[in-house]
Amino acid sequence: MVAPIVGVLALQGAFAAHAAILERLGVSTTEIRKDDQLDLVDSLVMPGGESTTMSMLLERSGMLEPLSARIAEGLPVFGTCAGMILLSSEVMDGRPDQRVLGAIDITTRRNGYGRQTESFESDLEITGLDAPFHGVFIRAPIVERLGESVSVLASVDDDAVLCRQANVTVASFHPELADDDRLHSMWLKEIS
């Protein structure tokens, strides 16, 4: 049996940190920069970064439509921060030309918690983990609307910060910065 390969979208953002965690967990990874590389992977991580820049790079590289199609076909995907924004069905406070994939039925607000100076950290109770997970929120998005079929796995106050719908998992924080592999490990178990 061939071991599954996890792609890490490597257009911009913290893709190397995600790849390092996945490799520590014994998973083969490959960086995804072109649409034909999507056919080489069994799942995908979409990292944090700058969502409008990532949107433009996806469009310019010709990856937006093939990526949307693969996710619609069931490709498991884990989006963090900017990845969450890109996977949303709607984004608020984005550029008028910003495109989203519509892969999870949520509306996100870019920089919902504020600018860089309002970045924060919080210990999160995550469904499926036996101890708190340290969440790092950097210019993080807020979920403004949840669709009926979206499960909330963690919240800060009353704001959903970790959600799942079918094959799509999103986090408004940066799990790759927590020095804790449990969230990536949980995602891998859910998709295998």
Please state, in angstroms and rounded to a whole number, the distance separating the CA atoms of residues 44 and 87.
12
Please state, in angstroms and rounded to a whole number, the distance separating the CA atoms of residues 182 and 3.
20
Catalytic residue numbers? Answer: 81, 174, 176
Q: What is the CATH number of domain 5-191?
A: 3.40.50.880
Rounded to two decimals, the pTM is 0.95
Residue-range domain boundaries for the chain: 5-191
* DSSP label at residue 175: G
Instruction: Please give the radius of gyration of the chain, using alpha carbons only, rounded to the nearest integer.
Output: 15
Q: And the tokens for 99?
A: 């495109």
Q: What is the pLDDT of residue 68?
A: 96
Q: What is the pLDDT of residue 148?
A: 97
Q: What is the pLDDT of residue 2?
A: 59
Please state, in angstroms and rounded to a whole number, the distance separating the CA atoms of residues 87 and 107.
10
Run means of pLDDT, 10 residues per run, the chain, 192 residues: 84 93 96 94 95 90 94 97 96 82 95 79 96 95 96 96 98 95 96 86
